[in-house]
Amino acid sequence: MKLGKIEKWFINRERHAKNVIERAESLLDLIEIKPGQDLLEIGCGGGPVSMHVSRKYNVKVVGTDVDEEQIKKAQNIAEGLKNTAFLVADATRLPFGDESFDIILSINVLHHISNWMDALREITRVLRDGGYLVLSELLFTRWTQSMGRLYSKQAYGITTLENLDSFIDNNKYSTLHTRLVKSLLWNNLEAVYRK
């Protein structure tokens, strides 16, 4: 799902980019990253995280987003930056071969995808065996999930921790790190999984 104008304004602010980079970095520092590895960022927006990761970790980064405008912005800013590419792609139909990436990073994106389970299946398909799935995600409580499905006409991926845990278990990921911050309406999850 493409973001609205207000959401784009929010995510394109320098302060927001800095916060997301810090969150991504804190999770990526939990895994062994080797120079030259392939990293895919799902929902990269204007690309600040992808560009930072490419520079800091010396990895090959592909940033994807469904929003053409955001991808063009990222491409313009990253012009001349080696090992970094941006392309328009739907997370539910990734244009990559099986086992193409060592690391897949997704920061607060899956809840914007109505068929988020298809996105997770695609992520699993393009992630190499032994690769890492690094997530920071907004998950709904059971109460808000049922209310959201009842009233929401928007294409949000309304899922719970139980749904995600079930997917992780069924696809034989090992959990290396999780941190869950609970609230009444939703939970914020940070996690690192290994395929």
Maximum Cα–Cα distance across the chain: 48
The pLDDT of residue 111: 81
* Structural domain for 177, as ranges: 5-194
The pLDDT of residue 7: 64
The pLDDT of residue 144: 57
Mean pLDDT computed over 130-148? 77
> pLDDT digit string (tens) for 92-138?
999 999 999 999 999 999 888 888 899 999 999 999 999 999 999 98
pLDDT over threshold 90, residue 9: no
What is the strand order of the sheet 101-107 is part of? 84-88, 60-65, 38-42, 101-107, 127-140, 186-194, 174-182
The letter for the amino acid at 19 is: N
- The DSSP code sequence of 156-185 is -----HHHHHHHHHHTTPEEEEEEEEE-SS
Q: Where residue 43 sits, what CATH number does that domain have?
A: 3.40.50.150
- The confidence band for 150, taking pLDDT boundaries of 50, 70 and 90, is very low
Q: For the chain, what is the domain count?
A: 1
pLDDT over threshold 70, residue 2: no
Mean pLDDT computed over 146-156? 51
The pLDDT of residue 33: 97
Mean pLDDT computed over 49-72? 96
Residues 172, 162, 175: CA angle, nearest 5 degrees: 35
Cα distances from 157 to residues 98, 108, 129, 140, 180, in angstroms, run 24, 11, 26, 9, 18
Question: How many Å separate Cα 186 from the centre of its chain?
Answer: 18
The pLDDT of residue 116: 87
pLDDT over threshold 70, residue 154: no
> pLDDT digit string (tens) for 13-25?
688 789 999 999 9
Q: Which residues contact 157 (CB under 8 A, 6 or more apart)?
A: 110, 111, 112, 113, 114, 115, 116, 119
